[in-house]
């Protein structure tokens, strides 16, 4: 029976892990003592977190309302991403957290759209998405009975890291997490298990389980567990994170623009704009990359911070009595804001598989297999962005398009090209509508469509297309401005809750 858990780490991985464990186990019938050893922070004033919609449910599990999270994190909601320049021309496409179109006679809308494209339709798939239409207009989605029958729109968050972490730490301490601020002096290991962690200052910490939330594997690396880099797939090895002036009015999406040796992201926040650039140092140096950022923003960015990127995965995130979570388990590419989701997934599996006996080989193997599967599917979704780019005149982007893809991703793309069907696995985070948005946005029109489409008269199909486009435009125009939402949350009207 597990009686003590030590979380050793920093920043979001450490605080969120300690809070989740304390809320789930700290006051159970047989309570588990949760101790957090907080290592020196890596977070600066320029840092921010971009998240996907799953983080809404994650924070609800922590007892944190959306209003509290946004107010504490000086954050905004995001309907998704707008990609510009990725296809090699001036066009752009949206990946929003929403469906596009509705099925007709039980047949997926994408099949009708594919036929229409073969017949000359020049309307992108995202034009049929209510969330994309709202994003184009600077609106926020508010679904009612009519719109929810058409759209499944959702949203993620953009959060200022420092203010968000202060709020999470306050909640964790109030929940009863034991807190030690220290650095690790030495780790005692015996028979592939951590016996204790000796902290600078002389304190020795023992526990039944050790959670490595350090980001760099400070604990789990002592158990001879390596980190497998994905340099063969992800060619960006540097990033710059900075701030810029707040967008007015604020956008309801994140903007990702391809540049000649990487990409530039603009992330709206309540009081500023988060700016990041990922790039390949073989094609552009640090000063040149900063110049690209400044030119895109229109003025020098504030507090730029240079980072070395090491995208990859821990081969076995659970070894002995040490469990890697978050950045320690996998460091993802910056596309699509999935890093916090890795932490969320790891904690979900950990709580489900928490050992109840001294022999927990089965739980450990299951954790390793399932978490690795989720991480690989996230990797594939990110990798498809690079692989399917159309920037053939740029050496960096040509190299991205030439990488040998993992077999599962290769088969997924080929099946979609042939039939307009996504081969989904149980480990997927992004569902069919996200894959449809990405693959069609990158210029893929499937070669064929479901023959059942031809049984529906073409004039009826055309009428339905026109009806959907009119409905989307009219309803999106009626949505509230995103600026209104930001002003409400930034005014702190929800900040009297848990934060």
493 has a pLDDT exceeding 90: no
Q: Is residue 395 part of a domain?
A: yes
- Both 252 and 222 in a single domain? no
Mean pLDDT of the chain: 95
Question: Residue 358 has what pLDDT?
Answer: 80
**Domain final residue pick, 262, 278, 308:** 308
- Both 220 and 333 in a single domain? yes
310 is in an annotated binding site: no
CA distance 50 to 124: 26
Structure tokens at 484: 């209104």
Q: Which domain holds residue 434?
A: 101-156+378-478
Q: Is residue 118 part of a domain?
A: yes
Model pLDDT for residues 450-481, shown as the tens digit of each residue: 999 999 999 999 999 999 999 999 999 999 99
- Both 343 and 354 in a single domain? yes
Band (pLDDT 50/70/90 cuts) for residue 1 is confident
- Both 248 and 272 in a single domain? yes
Tally of structural domains, the chain:
3
Q: Is residue 27 part of a domain?
A: yes
**Domain final residue pick, 308, 325, 350:** 308
Which is it for the CA torsion 60, 66, 67, 71, positive or negative?
A: positive
- Both 198 and 109 in a single domain? no
What is the rounded radius of gyration, in angstroms, for the C-alpha atoms of the chain? 23
CA distance 445 to 348: 37
CA distance 375 to 341: 10
User: What CATH number has the domain bearing residue 271?
Assistant: 3.30.70
pTM of the model: 0.96
Model pLDDT for residues 289-344, shown as the tens digit of each residue: 999 999 999 999 999 999 999 999 999 999 999 999 999 999 999 999 999 999 99
CB atoms within 10 A of CB 301: 21
Q: Is residue 62 part of a domain?
A: yes
184 is in an annotated binding site: yes
Question: Residue 495 has what pLDDT?
Answer: 44
Question: Residue 89 has what pLDDT?
Answer: 84
């Amino acid at each position: 029976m597990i009686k003590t858990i030590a979380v050793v780490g920093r920043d979001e991985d450490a605080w969120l892990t300690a809070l989740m464990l304390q809320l789930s186990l700290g006051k159970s019938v047989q309570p588990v003592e949760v101790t957090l050893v907080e290592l020196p922070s890596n977070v600066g004033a320029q840092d921010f977190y971009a998240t996907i919609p799953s983080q809404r449910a994650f924070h609800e599990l922590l007892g944190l309302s959306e209003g509290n999270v946004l107010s504490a994190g000086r954050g905004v909601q995001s309907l998704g991403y707008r990609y510009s320049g990725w296809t090699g021309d001036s066009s752009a496409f949206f990946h929003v957290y929403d469906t596009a179109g509705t099925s007709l006679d039980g047949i997926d809308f994408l099949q009708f759209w594919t036929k229409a494209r073969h017949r000359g339709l020049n309307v992108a798939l995202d034009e049929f998405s209510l969330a994309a239409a709202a994003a184009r207009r600077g609106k926020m989605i508010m679904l009612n009975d009519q719109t929810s029958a058409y759209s499944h729109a959702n949203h993620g968050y953009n959060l200022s890291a420092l203010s968000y972490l202060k709020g999470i730490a306050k909640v964790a301490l109030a929940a009863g997490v034991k807190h030690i601020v220290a650095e690790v002096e030495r780790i005692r290991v015996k028979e592939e298990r951590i016996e204790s962690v000796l902290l600078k200052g002389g304190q020795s910490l023992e526990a039944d389980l050790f959670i490595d939330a350090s980001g760099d594997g400070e604990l789990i690396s002592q158990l001879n567990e390596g980190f497998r880099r994905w340099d063969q797939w992800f060619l960006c090895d540097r990033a710059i994170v900075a701030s810029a002036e707040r967008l007015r009015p604020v956008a309801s999406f994140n903007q990702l623009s391809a540049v000649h040796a990487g990409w530039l992201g603009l992330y709206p926040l309540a009081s500023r704009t988060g700016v990041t650039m990922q790039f390949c140092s073989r094609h552009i140096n640090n000063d040149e990359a900063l110049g690209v950022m400044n030119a895109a923003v229109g003025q020098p960015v504030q507090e730029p911070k240079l980072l070395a990127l090491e995208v990859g995965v821990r081969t076995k995130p659970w070894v002995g009595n040490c469990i890697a979570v978050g950045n320690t388990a996998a460091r993802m590419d910056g596309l699509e804001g999935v890093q916090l989701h890795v932490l969320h997934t790891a904690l979900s599996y950990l709580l489900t598989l928490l050992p109840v006996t001294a022999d927990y080989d089965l739980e450990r193997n299951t954790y390793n297999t399932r978490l690795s599967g989720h991480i690989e599917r996230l990797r594939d979704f990110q990798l498809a962005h690079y692989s399917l780019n159309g920037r053939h005149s740029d050496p960096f982007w040509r190299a991205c398009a030439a990488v040998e893809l993992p077999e599962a991703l290769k088969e997924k793309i080929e099946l979609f090209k042939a039939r307009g069907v996504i081969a989904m696995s149980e480990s997927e985070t992004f569902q069919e509508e996200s894959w449809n948005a990405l693959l069609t946005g990158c210029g893929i029109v499937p070669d064929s469509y479901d023959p059942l489409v031809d049984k529906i008269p073409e004039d009826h199909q055309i009428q339905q297309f026109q009806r959907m486009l009119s409905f989307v435009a009219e309803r999106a125009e009626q949505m509230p401005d995103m600026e209104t939402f930001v002003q409400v949350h930034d005014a702190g009207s929800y900040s009297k809750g848990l934060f």
